[in-house]
Amino acid sequence: MMQIKYSNDSRIFNLNTDGIPYLSFDILDRLGVPNLYTTRYISYDEAAGEGVKGLRLAVMKDEDMEEAAPVVKANRDALARQLGSSIDFECITDQKHTNYVHVAAAEDLGFKPKPLHRQHVDGIVTDIPDVLLTVFGGDCPPVYIVDPVRKAVGLVHAGWKGTLGRIPEVAIANMVVRFGCDPGDMYAAIGPGICKDCYEMGDEIFDRFADEWSLEDAEHLLSRYPGGKFHLDLRESNRLTLVRAGVPEDHISVSNVCTKCNADTFYSYRARRMENEQAAMLVNRFGGDL
């Protein structure tokens, strides 16, 4: 089986190695919501215990658009089809480490240049059936939000700036206002990203959380490690935001996978292994029951 270091023994993910390999959240799988988080692998043979790496899902800054776009499109479409969708139904973020959340409309869908109204967007929500939401990341965890009652979903990219700006709460607020959702009906999953032990930050980040959240929260979420640097717990920060937004604690699944600790399996900015990015995908379709 693919070698992934988990921080505890809790069963959070299911591993799919048919086609392009990916992890999916057990809590979302049981709701029948197609979801995934990718790895470096293009393919993986479980029997042999080895695979082919180099999956490209995003056009990177140093890449030629004409060369990269067809490869990226083909790979994302293959993943979409593994979820029973296609690139024609995809809506993606244009991530700039904000807490801005876009409400997807029909004109946003499909593999094409992002419209001006969707620039600097780090989250998307929708109640359009079968829409595929996609966000990208290296060490910043995605947060998946689903409402099986109103049949609506959201997906956000939660780096430290978006986390500071409570981007999961912004997504939930949009779902409440636009779709009539009740946070008490929602389920959420915090995807793979950098763990607290690996996420060294400066003193100014402690001050930002103390100012914009509270001193008590800053002391809870950041700890000074040997060497004098603060370390931020992105997982707990986003979990706390979800709970305070009204999502029941037992409806939240939190990743126990660190992208930097697993830099041979995942792309990681902090490990200086950012040849490409992972994709988180979520389809607005429900077929199960918890």
The per-residue pLDDT for 2 is: 82
Residue with tokens 């992105």: 234
The per-residue pLDDT for 1 is: 62
Instruction: Answer for the pair 175, 152: CB distance below 8 angstroms, yes or no.
Output: yes
46, two tokens: 């479980």
- Strands in 212-254 per DSSP E: 222-224, 230-232, 252-254
Instruction: Give per-residue burial for 267-277: e unless 16+ CB within 10 Å, then b.
Output: bbbbbebeebb
Q: Which helix (H) or strand (E) holds 282?
A: strand 278-283
The per-residue pLDDT for 290 is: 57
Instruction: Answer for the pair 182, 111: CB distance below 8 angstroms, yes or no.
Output: no
95, two tokens: 């991530």
The per-residue pLDDT for 82 is: 97
In the predicted model, residues of the chain with pLDDT beneath 50 are none
Per-residue pLDDT tens for 68-91?
Answer: 899 999 999 999 999 999 999 999
Per-residue pLDDT tens for 205-257?
Answer: 999 999 999 999 999 999 999 989 999 999 999 999 999 999 999 999 999 99
- In terms of CATH architecture, what is 13-283? 4-Layer Sandwich (3.60)
- 185: CB partners within 8 A, 6+ apart: 147, 148, 149, 150
The per-residue pLDDT for 66 is: 85
Q: Which helix (H) or strand (E) holds 88?
A: none
Concatenated DSSP letters for 4-68?
Answer: --BSS----EEEE-SSS-EEEEHHHHTTT--EEEE-SEEEEETTTTEEEE----S--TTS-HHHH
Q: How would you classify the pairing of strands 132-137 and 278-283?
A: antiparallel
Residues recorded for the chain: 290
Distance set, CA 82 to CA 18, 103, 177, 237 (Å) = 9, 25, 32, 32
Task: Give CA angle at 126 (125, 127), nearest 5°.
Answer: 145
| Structural domain boundaries in the chain | 13-283
